[in-house]
Amino acid sequence: MCEAELASAGFDVTEEKFEYSQFPARWGPSIFGLLFAVTSWSAAHLAGRHQMPFAAFVTAAGGMLLLALLSRKLLVDGTSRLPWMRSQSGNLVATRRETNATPRIWLVAHIDSKSQTIPMLLRVAAVATSGILFTVMLASILAALALRTSAVSSTLGVRSESFLRAAQYE
């Protein structure tokens, strides 16, 4: 349909075929959402239930680093190299018939309905909300860590003074 419309408007139209994996778009959001939820729950559990803010911070920071590295790898190499869920598609390339000169303006149109299972607005809202909630959780963990460090130093200070006083009387 697009090809005929462009040709009737005076364009030479060719199709450039390509192959890709649908796996990153179909399963990436669900897999990474689950990993994000497990990381967040584990960090919150360590901080809240076990009163281990340092372990919670390491879990949260390590989990986020791992998620960032894995998602970068999936997005950069995933569509071209993953062997699962391979598919083929094509891009239409239309150039004016009258001239062979390099175009001054490029028009690109893209409809991605092949492998996206979650609408773009919902994905953006989910990522933004997750980022905000994770930041609040991380700030809470850091505050708990700061308070715990302060409480530990105070406790050590009191014990040291008590020990010194006891030592003076003996």
Closest to 123 in 3D by CA, of 49, 47, 28, 39: 28
Question: Is the pTM here over 0.75, yes or no?
Answer: no
Give 163-170's long-range contacts (Cβ < 8 A, gap of 24+). none
**pLDDT tens-digit readout, 18-75:** 899 988 888 888 888 889 899 989 998 888 888 888 898 999 999 999 999 998 888 8
* 66, containing H or E segment: helix 53-73
Burial class of residue 27, CB neighbours in 10 A (0-12, 13-18, 19+): middle
